């Protein structure tokens, strides 16, 4: 088995053993977060990052070129759920970084708690991402706002949180589920609506829009930069 660091993204790896699989270095060796496969090479443990379970992994497989997740990054994660994607971001940003994870559903947040207890860089916050005023006392300025809430008003949730928490030149990522916004419109039209909601304010520039099929049909990862 061979392991190579991605040519563009630091701390993102490719495991080559017959097939080519995305992976991150396990920040908490021996511990799984979901049912991911663990692989060891030269005394280092890696967690295979499944593009069918994580839209950020799917975006990397589909050619994402913006990747501001680095050692020490501060992330506001809206809709962190039980931490599937966040755990891989946690591996990448290391103990000098931090993820503030907003989640409204008590049941999934309960599953996140042991993950956050083992990983010191995840701060779970039970709150609605529609009420940033309720967590602005705990969340500082961040480098990245990452949103995956599958709600009809997901674009306005992203804009309001990015207006408050995102630093200038920071990045806003949104995993858009087109059917959550408008099931009657073709996905591309829904993506344009989301892009307009952010760019029409003059505060954000569209950087890229990645269609996530076949991993997540009718989903896109759209990336903006704060001007």
Ligand X SMILES: C[S@@+](CC[C@H](N)C(=O)[O-])C[C@H]1O[C@@H](n2cnc3c(N)ncnc32)[C@H](O)[C@@H]1O
Enter the tokens of residue 201.
Answer: 């304010």
104 binds ligand X (CB under 6 A): yes
Q: Quote the radius of gyration of the chain (alpha carbons, Å).
A: 17
Of the ranges 59-67, 143-151, 197-205, 213-221, which one interacts with ligand X (CB under 6 A)?
Answer: 143-151
- Site size toward ligand X (CB under 6 A) is 19
Among 27, 59, 60, 149, binds ligand X (CB under 6 A): 149
Q: What is the C-alpha to C-alpha distance for residues 95 and 19, in angstroms, rounded to an integer?
A: 30
Alpha carbons 92 and 11: distance in angstroms, whole number? 6
**Where do we find the tokens 């280092």?**
44
Using CB under 6 A as the criterion, what x/- string covers residues 39-68 for binding ligand X?
---------------xx-------------
Which residue, 107 or 168, has its beta carbon nearer to ligand X? 107
Nearest residue to 3 via CA among 40, 31, 28, 33: 40
* Binding of ligand X by 85 (CB under 6 A): yes
Q: Does 38 bind ligand X (CB under 6 A)?
A: no
Nearer to ligand X, 24 or 54 (CB): 54
Q: How far is the CB of 108 from ligand X (least distance, A)?
A: 5
Left if phi > 0, otherwise alpha if psi is -120 to 50, otherwise beta: which for 134?
Answer: alpha
Using CA atoms, how far apart are residues 126 and 207, in angstroms rounded to an integer?
A: 30
Q: Verify binding: residue 90, ligand X, rule CB under 6 A.
A: no
d(Cα 43, Cα 23) in Å, to the nearest integer? Answer: 15
Dist. CA 215–CA 52, nearest whole Å: 5
DSSP state at residue 133: G
| 102 binds ligand X, rule: CB under 6 A | yes
Which region, judged by CB under 6 A, interacts with ligand X, from 15-23, 77-85, 93-101, 213-221? 77-85
Residues numbered 162 to 221 that lie near ligand X (CB under 6 A) are: none
The interface mask with ligand X, positions 11-30, x = CB under 6 A, is --------------------
Q: Residue 169: is the preceding peptide bond cis (ω within 30°)?
A: no
Q: How far is the CB of 160 from ligand X (least distance, A)?
A: 11
Per CB under 6 A, the list member of 79, 97, 101, 124 interacting with ligand X is: 79
Identify the three-state secondary structure at position 114: helix
Q: Where along the sequence are the contacts to ligand X (CB under 6 A)?
A: 54-55, 78-79, 81, 84-85, 102-105, 108, 128-130, 148-151
């Amino acid at each position: 088995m061979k392991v190579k660091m991605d040519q563009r993204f630091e701390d993102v790896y490719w495991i080559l053993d017959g097939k080519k699989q995305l992976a991150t270095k396990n920040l908490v060796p021996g511990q799984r977060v979901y049912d991911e496969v663990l692989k060891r090479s030269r005394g280092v443990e890696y967690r295979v990052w499944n593009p069918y379970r994580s839209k950020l992994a799917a975006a990397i497989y589909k050619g994402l070129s913006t990747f501001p997740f680095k050692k020490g990054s501060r992330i506001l994660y809206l809709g962190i759920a039980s931490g599937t994607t966040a755990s891989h971001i946690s591996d990448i940003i290391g103990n000098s970084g931090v993820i503030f994870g907003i989640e409204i559903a008590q049941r999934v947040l309960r599953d996140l708690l042991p993950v956050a207890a083992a990983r010191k860089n995840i701060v779970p916050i039970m709150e609605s991402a529609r009420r940033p005023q309720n967590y602005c006392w705990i969340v500082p300025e961040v480098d990245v706002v990452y949103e995956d809430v599958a709600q009809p008003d997901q674009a306005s949730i992203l804009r309001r949180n990015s207006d408050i928490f995102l630093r200038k030149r920071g990045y806003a990522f949104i995993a858009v589920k087109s059917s959550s916004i408008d099931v009657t419109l073709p996905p591309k039209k829904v993506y344009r609506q989301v892009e307009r909601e952010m760019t029409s304010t003059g505060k954000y520039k569209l950087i890229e829009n990645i269609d996530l099929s076949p991993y997540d049909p009718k989903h896109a990862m759209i990336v903006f930069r704060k001007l």
